Structure 1
């Protein structure tokens, strides 16, 4: 399939140059970017008055938690998890996960996310939903051992089963990655085994690290070192690791993360909502650590809108440091695109010849996006997910003129509502 997007304003290359240009897509790649392209195409899209942007990359979420949106708000993390979320999760069935994941996929498509990293359970159902929706995803079954050898064996068996299931899908959009939940739920020996399995199968790893002050204090009391120091000591940290949150990081932690090439997935909305703290973004960026952007799950955000997440990231760090130059629009936009692609070693996150065709078209013919002085600034500070008009992943149009093409939107909305209501009554 070929697509020609004409008359748009293109955010081109790593430098985010704004060009008045056309974009020609053939198969799953961007083939040409330039003015007045004459190539014939199966689909021609007129993007006059619109911006052609790289799709957004959400490097940490829990997709099926869409079913918990609006439940147990305004609580501290551990109370939220132990007293509300975990009891509900024990009631979830595989089909619940499927419909919750489709709802999350719908939300992502309609707000311009083209790639995401997901940690949850019943991940074969998440994979089925993603396969149907057409998004690009890195999926992990979140393993925990709680210092139990029996639990460890069971969890590893399920992770490997999920890996095989995803491999059998034979999709160039869906990858399995390993996902130990966190150092406070996984013993050092278990974490070493996961590291070995990741190496054996050539897969990446993602893990929650230093999300709360209490977590860090707990690990220090138990092991005499920070979570990052503990992970480094056991040889866990490499450039194929994405740590989620990284709120409570010391200067030594940051130095280790830089040395090992680890990416930190920043979740500003979730960190603020759960009062977890403020990630040391200035220090991470100054050290040269790759920082990507993420929403976390719908239960702690409460949406998957990466455009909104960019604004929150920029504003949070300005007010926290009392420095308006921190987290400028260009830095944050790269966190949501290029840095996520770098973390995943993925040839996307930019619009240029040869890159994967993961694109979104954003309608700037709206009062809150005019006058147009600075497109990147508008995307970070003025736009929201509903401004996304068209979403393209791997060269396939998933949404055109706000109409989702890959599945029945109304059916998903209706079914997810019924599943959520049934869940609460169990």
Structure 2
């Protein structure tokens, strides 16, 4: 298949911080072949008119728990520890594969509709998430969340190994698998070392929660005499490529460790705000040259998976916290949501920017909306004004998976019906 997008404004996110006006993108199969003036005699299978639209790389949700959509609006207005231990974990203990399948598909619909093309997911029954990825056409990193339980340690490692063997590299490389210890407070040092051994064996990365709350950090100092980040660093975890979700309560030593070890922190502003976890020092980490990306966290602590909302909040929250109007500028946040996320997921050679030779993971935004006029600055508009509902078309691996707001790969009505049904049944259980 070949696809020509004509007369489109492009924000490539290729490091030049530029906007290409009235240009064209030519795609063959899964790759971007040309950008600019395309020969008139080119014989494209499909042509899309890009007038009044902006093309940007597909957004990358670098940390989420998509099966948790079933618990959206189920347990709110609680601090994280109480939310997890008294509300979420007891219900999750009753989860089935069918529950996670429908909850994950519901999240994929929501992500596609708001411009996310790739995500990194940590949850249970990850084979079911893989099945959803096959159907949706999205790109994703599957990670089976590992919480240490006496007598089940090896079983969880075996689950991850089987997940890797079943799914890594499948669907034209759209699916990857990493190893996911939940957090240092749910995995002992010995178990973390076993998990690291598995990651080395599989030659893959780590996905972990780190320094999310003040309590977590205080408990780590009581138990180990050091922060969670210093603790896992001393264990050797950061010798592996690491996606570190949250990193809210970090000091200067933590930040230096993250930078020197090329760790990829993921900022989750909505979840951190809602659970009162605090404000990650994004500006400080950026000044150290750390590769920061963005994520929604799960939709039971957010309560949505709209990356444009995260883009907006990531910039304005830090301006207020730092009392600095130029802190975390618009272009920086767009990088966090695109190319930086691709780097965190070890995918930046293929996705994260619109460049010749890269995979065609592109979203088209309909700019012909009252809230997007006048068009003084496209970069500012994308960060401060665009809504997830402005996404018109979504392309992944060169395939159109949503066009004019219609998802082509999934039965949205069926998914909403079944997700509602299994969610009610789950809570009643």
CA distance in 2, matches of 1:119, 1:368: 35
Structure 2 CA distance for partners of 1:51 and 1:286, relative to 1, 3 Å: same
Match of 1:21 in 2: 23
Q: 1:315-343 CA distances to partner (integer Å, 9 max, x unpaired)?
A: 11011111111111011010000101111
CA distance in 2, matches of 1:66, 1:14: 34
Shift of 1:168: 8.5
Match of 2:371 in 1: 368
Question: Is the contact made by 1:142 and 1:180 (CA closer than 8 Å) also made in structure 2?
Answer: yes
Question: Is the contact made by 1:166 and 1:175 (CA closer than 8 Å) also made in structure 2?
Answer: yes
TM-score for both structures, normalised by structure 2: 0.97
Question: Is the contact made by 2:26 and 2:38 (CA closer than 8 Å) also made in structure 1?
Answer: no
Shift of 1:269: 0.4
In structure 1, the residue corresponding to 2:238 is in which secondary structure?
Answer: coil
Question: Is the contact made by 1:238 and 1:261 (CA closer than 8 Å) also made in structure 2?
Answer: no
Question: Is the contact made by 1:239 and 1:263 (CA closer than 8 Å) also made in structure 2?
Answer: no
Shift of 1:16: 3.1
Shift of 1:14: 2.2
In structure 2, the residue corresponding to 1:24 is in which secondary structure?
Answer: strand
Q: What aligned pairs does 1:167-316 form with structure 2 within 5 A after superposition?
A: 167=168, 169=170, 171-238=172-239, 240-316=241-317
Q: 1:137-185 CA distances to partner (integer Å, 9 max, x unpaired)?
A: 0010011215x3x232121122112222214855410111000000000
Match of 1:2 in 2: 2
Q: Find out whether 1:130 has 2:165 as its counterpart.
A: no
Q: Find out whether 1:409 has 2:412 as its counterpart.
A: yes
Question: Is the contact made by 1:112 and 1:385 (CA closer than 8 Å) also made in structure 2?
Answer: yes
Shift of 1:357: 0.5
Which of 407, 421, 425 aligns to 2:424? It is 421
Question: Is the contact made by 1:398 and 1:404 (CA closer than 8 Å) also made in structure 2?
Answer: yes
Q: What aligned pairs does 1:81-92 form with structure 2 within 5 A after superposition?
A: 81-92=84-95
Question: Is the contact made by 2:169 and 2:175 (CA closer than 8 Å) also made in structure 1?
Answer: no
Question: Is the contact made by 2:365 and 2:390 (CA closer than 8 Å) also made in structure 1?
Answer: yes
Question: Is the contact made by 1:270 and 1:296 (CA closer than 8 Å) also made in structure 2?
Answer: yes
CA distance in 2, matches of 1:281, 1:116: 21
CA distance in 1, matches of 2:312, 2:157: 38
CA distance in 1, matches of 2:229, 2:38: 51
CA distance in 2, matches of 1:404, 1:180: 34
Question: Is the contact made by 1:239 and 1:261 (CA closer than 8 Å) also made in structure 2?
Answer: no
Q: What aligned pairs does 1:13-162 form with structure 2 within 5 A after superposition?
A: 13-19=14-20, 20-38=22-40, 39-146=42-149, 148=150, 150-162=151-163
Shift of 1:299: 0.4
In structure 1, the residue corresponding to 2:300 is in which secondary structure?
Answer: helix
CA distance in 2, matches of 1:168, 1:74: 40
Q: What aligned pairs does 1:371-382 form with structure 2 within 5 A after superposition?
A: 371-382=374-385
CA distance in 2, matches of 1:122, 1:176: 13
CA distance in 2, matches of 1:238, 1:47: 44
- Note the aligned Cα RMSD (angstroms): 1.2
CA distance in 2, matches of 1:342, 1:151: 33
In structure 2, the residue corresponding to 1:214 is in which secondary structure?
Answer: helix
CA distance in 2, matches of 1:220, 1:269: 27
Mind listing any 5+ residue stretches in structure 2 that lack a counterpart? none
Question: Is the contact made by 2:105 and 2:415 (CA closer than 8 Å) also made in structure 1?
Answer: yes
CA distance in 2, matches of 1:418, 1:37: 52
In structure 2, the residue corresponding to 1:45 is in which secondary structure?
Answer: strand
In structure 2, the residue corresponding to 1:114 is in which secondary structure?
Answer: strand
CA distance in 2, matches of 1:326, 1:14: 19
Q: 1:255-282 CA distances to partner (integer Å, 9 max, x unpaired)?
A: 0111101010000000000000100111
Question: Is the contact made by 1:239 and 1:260 (CA closer than 8 Å) also made in structure 2?
Answer: no
Shift of 1:423: 1.7
Aligned length: 424
Structure 2 CA distance for partners of 1:391 and 1:18, relative to 1, 3 Å: same
In structure 2, the residue corresponding to 1:424 is in which secondary structure?
Answer: helix
Mind listing any 5+ residue stretches in structure 1 that lack a counterpart? none
Q: 1:88-115 CA distances to partner (integer Å, 9 max, x unpaired)?
A: 1112110110000000000111110011
Shift of 1:413: 1.3
Q: 1:46-70 CA distances to partner (integer Å, 9 max, x unpaired)?
A: 1100001110011000001111111
